[in-house]
Structure 1
């Protein structure tokens, strides 16, 4: 069993770090007092493997003396639990700016006191904890993607990085643009099989409709340019830390052109080595 204690300065990024760790399989508990950590570890140990990776977030809101947390850390390590502590911090100006953006008060800020005064007091208060931390991470200059990458480097297991999952979605504009779409492409410029009597009641998944749609030069030119663009974009999205991307292809009703193009595109992206799901939102409307 692995227990990771996430602590540090208020505004240092503990909540965001916990959410990333949760994404890679940690069971996270926010603001757990140190006095309860040993009992919680015993509970996890008896859970038949359901809680093998646990992240416990601890901060000054607990109101406990910091030596209790240090003693708890040592007790857990002495008991044979793989227990480590991550201390997150940032420079004073960065933390001040973060509190300004959220319009929240620092938990140690007293009436008539500035945020910076509260930060200085918290640094002194948390210094013994920092000294006992296994990892100290300064988040001042870290982007969201970089923080995620750092945490994966420190605590990820094989396969945690996974890869960019792509959902290729067809839709009809008359039913509205999918709100979950990251990229939207309009294929209404293509000749419409709806006006071909023998194709009207078929869909873009039928070979006859696909043959019709791809019999035109503009369709093939469009696909060539779209594939080039995605070959360029997808690695950049993955590098930035994006875990899921929704590509929406729209025509008028979502039955013919968008379905055929989405199906073709999903096959291409699969061949490029990405995890792909294919959905046709309006195909049965």
Structure 2
């Protein structure tokens, strides 16, 4: 029997990213999917808006670094506060884009960059990327738009958030490195460091857990198959219960030492299993994203 006093979470999506990366397209897509949308809202007004909302339509807020009261530290504090609020199911979307592509987009539109109106777009882009770095690190969904058309971006946002008007539970899976800590907002964590480590095989070391050779090596561990079956069974047992309790989102993390091999392979396989069982699943590989845009992975698998 369900508890009559159970809390049904109100879904709130924060959307940000550098100018030109596609924030307006993402916000418009969410609005088309039934979200109540507020764009370019001053950061100081966000708590008042959310606290004054009655539970109902999900809400999407577009946050622009160009806003004069924008402050990365204040936004990180807001994200952390909303994360622990039992009334709210928070998701943070960060729209990322390569510097060269942002420059090309500004050149096409002949617009000045808002953070460097008297300088080249490159200077403004660099300033904005630096300003948003703490928010990027807190993002639940990092969408790389460099190679995307507006249509592609709409499809990507729709895949992750298109169930806004349906009673359902969205599941996100994330691989990570314990060296950088457990990601924010994870509900369940599984440690994959006991599995056979491809890092110690020279030919596999530069690859990641999405590569079949890496996966095959990890799968030779005699504990691998049983681990996958038990985790899958546990997730499939818990997901309906979480849905019954009014949750709209469940985040599951898989960690290993470097976040490159074992946790990635397990995340990919569990995501496949849950999707085959009919659950809407999004996946993210935190360290692979970081390696692609910032630094090479130097951990041990």
Q: Taking structure 1 as the reference length, what is the TM-score of the superposition?
A: 0.52
Contact 2:41–2:63, Cα closer than 8 Å, also in 1 = yes
Q: 2:148 aligned to 142, 146, 152, which one?
A: 142
In the TM superposition, 1:73-84 aligns within 5 A as 73-80=79-86, 81-84=88-91
Per the alignment, residue 55 of structure 1 pairs with: 60
| TM-superposition CA deviations, 1:186-231 (whole Å, max 9, x none) | xxxxxxxxxxxxxxxxxxxxxxxxxxxxxxxxxxxxxxxxxxxxxx
Secondary structure, counterpart of 2:142 in structure 1: strand
Q: 1:18 aligned to 15, 18, 27, which one?
A: 27
Q: How many angstroms apart in 2 are the aligned matches of 1:122 and 1:159? A: 34
How far 1:34 moved relative to its partner? 2.2
Aligned positions, number: 155
| TM-superposition CA deviations, 1:128-167 (whole Å, max 9, x none) | 110011111110101222111111111111888xxxxxxx
Contact 1:60–1:107, Cα closer than 8 Å, also in 2 = no
1:29 matched to 2:38? The reply is yes
Structure 2: which 5+ runs fail to align? 1-9, 167-301
Contact 1:5–1:55, Cα closer than 8 Å, also in 2 = yes
Contact 2:12–2:58, Cα closer than 8 Å, also in 1 = yes
1:156 matched to 2:162? The reply is yes
How far 1:102 moved relative to its partner? 2.1
Q: 2:105 aligned to 98, 108, 132, which one?
A: 98
In the TM superposition, 1:87-236 aligns within 5 A as 87-111=94-118, 113-157=119-163
Relative to structure 1, the CA distance from residue 27 to residue 95 in structure 2 (aligned partners, 3 Å threshold; closer, same or farther) is: same
1:3 matched to 2:12? The reply is yes
Contact 2:33–2:165, Cα closer than 8 Å, also in 1 = no
| TM-superposition CA deviations, 1:87-108 (whole Å, max 9, x none) | 0011112111211222221110
| TM-superposition CA deviations, 1:225-246 (whole Å, max 9, x none) | xxxxxxxxxxxxxxxxxxxxxx
Q: How many angstroms apart in 2 are the aligned matches of 1:6 and 1:75? A: 17
Q: 2:71 aligned to 58, 65, 70, which one?
A: 65
Q: Taking structure 2 as the reference length, what is the TM-score of the superposition?
A: 0.49
Secondary structure, counterpart of 2:153 in structure 1: helix
Q: How many angstroms apart in 2 are the aligned matches of 1:105 and 1:139? A: 21
> Could you say which structure has the larger radius of gyration?
1
Large movers: runs of 4+ above 6 Å: none
Relative to structure 1, the CA distance from residue 132 to residue 94 in structure 2 (aligned partners, 3 Å threshold; closer, same or farther) is: same
Q: How many angstroms apart in 2 are the aligned matches of 1:99 and 1:118? A: 11
Per the alignment, residue 48 of structure 2 pairs with: 39
